[in-house]
């Protein structure tokens, strides 16, 4: 097995975080369980039934050694003892004493709960709701707070209005991302000069520029390479339910689909999110049959509460995609709680990776994984240590909020679009960040001063009243956006690209067009395809096209020419931080590739379906088909 710190790709943890929020109390999810679940019954049918101590010891060695590890909240003293994570747990922080006493009294009034953090609650005489997770009375607890019966839950449901009423079920505001320390690290003059990058006549020199324009409540961000637009972002108030990538939720399992190896999770958004089997975390020591991967129905149960993070925004009729491997991005590192993941960016040189590895060995928090970002190059050990400590504190706050919240609720919200893009993109290669909103300018200036004081003077305010042209018009952003919405893209030599979007994939056709060449057909096609490879990489990044992409290059007879086009295409894509995978040109001249899809593309963010043709772009001649 290769060293992840050397390879740069995180190694799959041997014992990661636990996958769901509550273990099955009746043992019906395991082969040796004490109560066999009836075929066709809903998960947790027998969860109020007490578990036999004999059967419990035969199915779980941890339970036999320490009964408190599966006693749930019925024995308050057991929560004080260390408890090994089990299948179904996802709340690492212990329950506060005040909450535990309140919840204990509620359980005593409602009846006894199942052992092992079942997520069931209430009296046995209480009528079961028809659909798991809709109500608030049988909240899916787990880990340290299994089987909670919260008082007043029925009133909360009636006032909340269906499943979305759970948005108000939390007991606190979501944790905000702490972007910087109040007291930045003091750096010497030599370090500041090195981090400033190239300058000419006292002015910064960089290939990139970022323009941020605000109109009302909408913010647009344009990234330019020279004068060419290469990236565009839009943030609107309505994006709270659609642009949620990176947010962390306390979700409730609505239903588990074994045939799809997936579960639908209620996170409080209009559409349920989906959690696939591969994104569920669990402890391999809790698996009965060693060497075999447990099924998703053994890891998740209906009405269970789990901590999860959005990895893909909801698109069209599809809900958001989730993972239980939570990650908190900082300026220099990414913290992965309850994981053994350890890695350093492959883009860093070997000597820098060796230095950072030595620093990580000292500052890495126990029980958590760390990935070092490319931005950590040449940063001091103190800066990395502060970044790790800041992220560790955020995770403690998130875990504590999860303990006192009721699913579904938002636990952590990513910062505003402008700050998030600057955190991910801004470095010494940028010559400036120009912002036309005073309040946003001050916020960004304070943030950059805290994280990169050497680059603080590159944040500039664009006074629209004093300037003759708006910011985007001065840099020809809107003009380039209009071109980016067209199907046809012209190449410098006269060739063209045709970009078509379908439900399954995106197709790009390369044409020679007006390019007639000068020497031979093979040379003309070869040069045309090289231009197309460069332009396609830029268009994919600008239009934010994701998923499966098929490119139809003009046929080339010479094998070396096909290899050159593929090489140039991969080199152009290397500047794109979104993960891509490119395959070789086939005999038909087709290139198949994938690009990670995170959210809606440029076309979807700036346009909507035509109400007349429903997006088909065709006018049907009804005179020929009408009676």
pLDDT for 109 beyond 60? no
Note whether 266 and 372 are same-domain residues: yes
Share of the chain above pLDDT 90, in %: 39
Q: b/e for 572-608, b at 16 or more Cβ within 10 A?
A: bbeebeeebebeebeeebebebebebbbbbbebbeee
For 245-256, write each residue's pLDDT tens digit: 999 999 999 999
Residue 515: pLDDT band by 50, 70, 90 thresholds? confident
**CB contact at 8 A, 228 and 275:** no
Local confidence band at 206 (pLDDT 50, 70, 90 cut-offs): confident
User: Among the ranges 343-347, 510-514, 539-543, 555-559, which has the highest mean pLDDT value?
Assistant: 539-543
Residues 199 and 227 placed together within one structural domain of the fold: yes
Question: What's the average model confidence in pLDDT over 13-29?
Answer: 40
Question: Which residues have a Cβ under 8 Å from the Cβ of 239 and sit 6 or more positions away?
Answer: none
Q: Which of 166-170, 177-181, 463-467, 595-599 has the highest mean pLDDT?
A: 463-467
Angle between helix 417-425 and helix 438-451 axes, rounded to 10 deg: 30
C-alpha distances out from residue 512 to 422, 489, 558, Å: 39, 12, 17
Q: Tell me, what's the pLDDT at 193?
A: 64
Q: Residue 50 — left, alpha, or beta (φ > 0 → left; ψ -120 to 50 → alpha)?
A: beta
- Across 365-384, average pLDDT: 89
Give me the mean pLDDT over the 433-459 stretch: 89
pLDDT tier, 50 (very low <50, low <70, confident <90, very high otherwise): very low
> What sign for the dihedral angle of Cα 561, 567, 572, 573?
positive
* 521 and 556 inside one domain: yes
Whether residues 320 and 456 share a domain: the answer is no
Q: How far apart are CA 584 and CA 567, in angstroms?
A: 9
Q: What are the Cα distances from residue 164, in Å, to 20, 505, 508?
A: 21, 33, 41
Q: What is the pLDDT of residue 85?
A: 44
> At which residue do the structure tokens 């491997």 appear?
325
Structural tokens at position 244: 């949620």
Lowest mean pLDDT among 186-200, 305-319, 338-352, 443-457: 186-200
Task: Report whether 154 contacts 135 (CB < 8 A).
Answer: yes
CA neighbor of 256 nearest in space, from 424, 38, 43: 43
Tell me, yes or no, whether 322 lies in a domain: yes
Average pLDDT over every residue of 297-317: 90
Degrees (nearest 5) of the Cα angle 579, 582, 586? 165
Kindly state whether residues 306 and 392 are assigned to the same domain.
yes
Angle between helices 559-573 and 521-543 (to 10 degrees): 20
With respect to residue 459, please indicate whether it lies within any of the assigned structural domains.
yes
Residues listed for the chain: 627
- For position 160, what pLDDT does the model report? 37
Q: Which residue has the higher pLDDT, 381 or 106?
A: 381
Q: At which residue do the structure tokens 């067009």 appear?
A: 513
Residue 627, pLDDT score: 64
Q: What is the pLDDT of residue 166?
A: 40
- Which residues, including other chains, have CB under 8 Å from residue 577's CB and lie 6 or more apart? 424, 425
The reported pLDDT for the residue numbered 260 is 93
In a domain, 205, yes or no: yes
Q: Which residue has the higher pLDDT, 355 or 22?
A: 355
> What is the edge-to-edge ordering of all strands in the sheet holding 218-225?
228-235, 218-225, 208-215, 430-435, 459-461
Q: Quote the pLDDT of residue 375.
A: 86
**pLDDT over 70 (residue 8):** no
Structure tokens belonging to residue 536: 């396609």
Mean pLDDT in residue range 32-59? 42
Closest CA to 359 of 330, 388, 397, 401: 388
Burial of 624 (0-12, 13-18, 19+ CB in 10 A): exposed
Bigger pLDDT: 473 vs 243: 473
pLDDT, average across residues 312-326: 89
Residue 11 has pLDDT above 50, yes or no: no
Task: Look at residues 389, 413, 437 and tell me which one is the last residue of a structural domain.
Answer: 413
CB atoms under 10 Å from CB of 241, counted, come to 13
* Bridge partners (DSSP) listed for residue 307: 250
pLDDT over 80 (residue 596): yes
Q: How many CA atoms lie within 13 A of 454 on its CB side?
A: 22
Torsion of CA 605, 611, 617, 622, to 10 degrees: 170
pLDDT at 190 (0 to 100):
66
Tell me whether residue 110 is in a domain.
Answer: no
Distance CA 448, CA 426 (A): 9
Same domain (yes/no): 423, 339: no
* Domain end (from 388, 413, 438): 413
User: What integer pLDDT is reported at residue 570 of this predicted model?
Assistant: 95
Q: Quickly list DSSP for 431-452.
A: EEEEES-HHHHHHHHHHHHHH-
pLDDT above 80 (res 97)? no
**What span, in angstroms and rounded, lies between the C-alpha atoms of 34 and 25?**
9
Same domain as 445, residue 299:
no
Angle formed by the axes of helices 381-403 and 350-363, to 10°?
50
Q: Which two tokens stand for residue 470?
A: 């708006």
pLDDT at 135: 38
pLDDT in tens, 275-291: 999 999 887 666 666 56
Q: Write out the E strands in 272-388.
A: 273-276, 305-312, 321-323, 328-329, 333-336, 342-344, 369-372
Range among 37-41, 66-70, 101-105, 415-419 rated most confident:
415-419
Where in the sequence is the domain holding 525, given as residue range(s)?
486-606
Domain-terminating residue out of 413, 442, 458: 413
Say whether pLDDT at 410 is over 90: yes
Same domain, 315 and 266: yes
pLDDT of residue 614: 78
Judgement on whether residues 470 and 562 belong to the same structural domain of the protein: no
Q: For residue 14, is it within any domain?
A: no
Q: Residue 296's Cα: distance from chain center in Å?
A: 21
Q: What is the pLDDT of residue 118?
A: 37
**Mean pLDDT across the chain, nearest whole number?**
75
- Does residue 455 sit within a domain? yes
Residue 90 placed within a domain: no
Considering 74-88, 150-164, 241-255, the range whose residues carry the highest mean pLDDT is 241-255
Q: Is the pLDDT of residue 528 over 50?
A: yes
Q: Which region among 239-253, 415-429, 608-622 has the lowest average model confidence (pLDDT)?
A: 608-622
Which residues lie below 8 Å from residue 145, measured CB to CB, with a gap of 6+?
73, 91, 95, 99, 100, 103, 117, 403
CATH of the domain at 384: 2.40.50.140
80 pLDDT exceeds 50?
no
How are the residues of the chain apportioned to helix, strand and coil, as percentages rounded to the nearest 5?
Answer: 35, 20, 50
- Identify the pLDDT of residue 211: 95
Residue 46 included in any domain:
no
Q: How far is CA 422 from CA 223, 252, 427, 563, 576, in A?
A: 11, 33, 9, 36, 16
The total domain count for the chain is 3
CA atoms within 13 A on the CB side of 482: 5
Higher pLDDT, 145 or 572: 572
CA nearest 300: which of 344, 257, 349, 246?
257
Q: Does the bond joining 408 to the residue before it have cis omega, within 30 degrees of 0?
A: yes
Q: What is the reported pLDDT for 488?
A: 94
pLDDT of residue 238: 62
Same structural domain for residues 228 and 367? no
Residue 193, domain CATH: 3.30.420
Q: 360 and 327 in one domain?
A: yes
280 and 363 assigned to the same domain: yes
């Amino acid at each position: 097995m290769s060293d992840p710190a050397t390879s740069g790709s995180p190694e799959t943890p041997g014992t990661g975080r636990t996958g769901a929020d509550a273990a099955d109390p009746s043992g019906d999810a395991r082969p040796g369980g004490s109560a066999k679940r009836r075929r066709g019954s809903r998960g947790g049918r027998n969860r109020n039934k007490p578990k036999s101590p004999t059967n419990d010891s035969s199915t779980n060695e941890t339970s036999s050694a320490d009964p408190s590890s599966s006693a749930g909240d019925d024995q308050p003293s057991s929560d004080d003892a260390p408890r090994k994570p089990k299948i179904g747990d996802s709340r690492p922080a212990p329950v506060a004493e005040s909450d535990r006493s309140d919840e204990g009294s509620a359980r005593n009034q409602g009846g006894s709960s199942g052992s092992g953090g079942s997520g069931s609650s209430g009296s046995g005489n209480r009528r079961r709701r028809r659909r798991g997770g809709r109500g608030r009375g049988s909240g899916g607890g787990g880990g340290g707070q299994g089987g909670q019966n919260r008082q007043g839950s029925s009133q909360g449901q009636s006032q909340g209005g269906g499943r979305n009423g759970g948005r108000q079920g939390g007991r606190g505001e979501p944790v905000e991302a702490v972007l910087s320390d109040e007291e930045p690290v003091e750096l010497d003059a030599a370090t500041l000069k090195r981090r400033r990058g190239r300058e000419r006549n006292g002015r910064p020199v960089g290939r990139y520029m970022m323009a941020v324009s605000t109109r009302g409540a909408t913010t647009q961000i344009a990234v330019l390479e020279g004068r060419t637009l290469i990236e565009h972002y839009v943030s609107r108030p309505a994006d709270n339910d659609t642009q949620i990538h990176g947010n962390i939720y306390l979700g409730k399992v609505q239903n588990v689909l074994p045939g799809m190896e997936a579960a639908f999770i209620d996170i409080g958004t209009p559409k349920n999110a989906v959690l696939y089997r591969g994104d569920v975390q669990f402890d391999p020591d809790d698996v009965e049959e060693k060497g075999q991967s447990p099924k998703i129905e053994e890891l998740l149960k209906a009405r269970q509460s789990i901590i999860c993070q959005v990895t893909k925004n909801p698109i069209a009729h599809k809900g958001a995609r989730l993972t239980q491997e939570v990650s908190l991005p900082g300026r220099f590192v990414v913290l992965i709680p309850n994981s053994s993941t350890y890695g350093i960016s492959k883009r860093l040189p070997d000597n820098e990776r060796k230095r950072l590895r030595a620093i990580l060995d000292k500052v890495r928090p126990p029980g958590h994984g760390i990935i070092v970002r490319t931005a950590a190059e040449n940063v001091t050990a103190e800066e990395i240590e502060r970044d790790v400590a800041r992220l560790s504190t955020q995770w403690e706050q998130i875990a504590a909020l999860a303990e006192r919240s009721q699913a579904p609720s938002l636990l952590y919200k990513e910062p505003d679009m402008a700050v998030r893009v600057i955190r991910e993109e801004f470095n010494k290669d940028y010559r400036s960040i120009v912002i036309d909103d005073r309040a946003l300018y001050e916020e960004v200036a304070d943030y950059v001063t805290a994280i990169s004081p050497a680059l603080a003077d590159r944040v500039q305010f664009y006074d629209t009243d004093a300037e003759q042209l708006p910011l985007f018009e001065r840099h020809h952003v809107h003009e380039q956006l209009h071109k980016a919405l067209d199907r046809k893209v012209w190449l410098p030599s006269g060739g063209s690209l045709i970009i078509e979007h379908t439900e399954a994939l995106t197709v790009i056709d390369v044409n020679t067009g007006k390019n007639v060449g000068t020497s031979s057909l093979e040379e003309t096609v070869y040069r045309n395809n090289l231009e197309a490879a460069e332009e396609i990489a830029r268009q994919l990044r600008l239009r934010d096209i994701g998923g499966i992409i098929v490119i139809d290059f003009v046929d080339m007879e010479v094998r070396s020419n096909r290899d050159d086009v593929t090489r140039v295409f991969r080199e152009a894509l290397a500047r794109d931080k979104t993960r891509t995978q490119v395959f070789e040109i086939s005999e038909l001249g087709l290139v198949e590739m994938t690009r990670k899809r995170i959210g809606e593309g440029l076309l979807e963010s700036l346009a909507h379906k035509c109400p007349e043709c429903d997006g088909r772009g065709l006018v049907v001649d009804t005179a020929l088909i009408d009676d």
